[in-house]
Amino acid sequence: MSPAQDWREQLEDAVDRFNESEPARTVGGLMRTLGSPSVSVGAAAGSRSEVRITVAWELSWYQWGVDVGDDARPVVQLAKGDELSQLDGSAREWNSRAAKGGRLSLGVTPR
């Protein structure tokens, strides 16, 4: 398996774990009020096994971490804020989407 395939599997695993977590239900509830968010799934700075998930609306954003190296560790909130300008560039690479119930999926063409 190539490193790119391995990384893709880690991202998919992180999304699957997120979709089964309480934060996914939180995103689903926010979507009922705020509409569809922009979503980014990628590497967390400083960690080889943690995936950072960013879900953002125009006036609000949240970030969660999923440690794909530790199945027992829960999805944890890393940060939240009020302005997209607070996010670093990699967190604004909108490469995923959220569907009904806050369920995420990978591979969506960036907006």
Specify whether the CB–CB gap between 53 and 68 falls below 8 A. no
Which tokens belong to 69? 């190296």
Specify whether the CB–CB gap between 66 and 51 falls below 8 A. yes
Predicted confidence (pLDDT) per residue in 82-104, tens digit: 999 999 999 999 999 999 999 99
Q: Strand 104-106 vs strand 96-98: parallel, antiparallel, or unpaired?
A: antiparallel
Predicted confidence (pLDDT) per residue in 8-51, tens digit: 899 999 999 999 999 999 999 999 999 999 999 998 877 778 99
Which tokens belong to 40? 């980014």
pLDDT > 80? residue 81:
yes
Specify whether the CB–CB gap between 97 and 39 falls below 8 A. yes
pLDDT top residue among 6 and 79? 79
pLDDT > 90? residue 109:
no
Helices (H), the chain: 3-19, 22-34
pLDDT at 110: 47
pLDDT > 90? residue 7:
no
Beta strands in the chain (DSSP E): 38-43, 50-57, 60-67, 76-81, 96-98, 104-106
* C-alpha neighbours within 13 Å on the C-beta side of residue 29: 5
pLDDT > 50? residue 111:
no
The structure's pTM equals 0.91
pLDDT at 49: 86
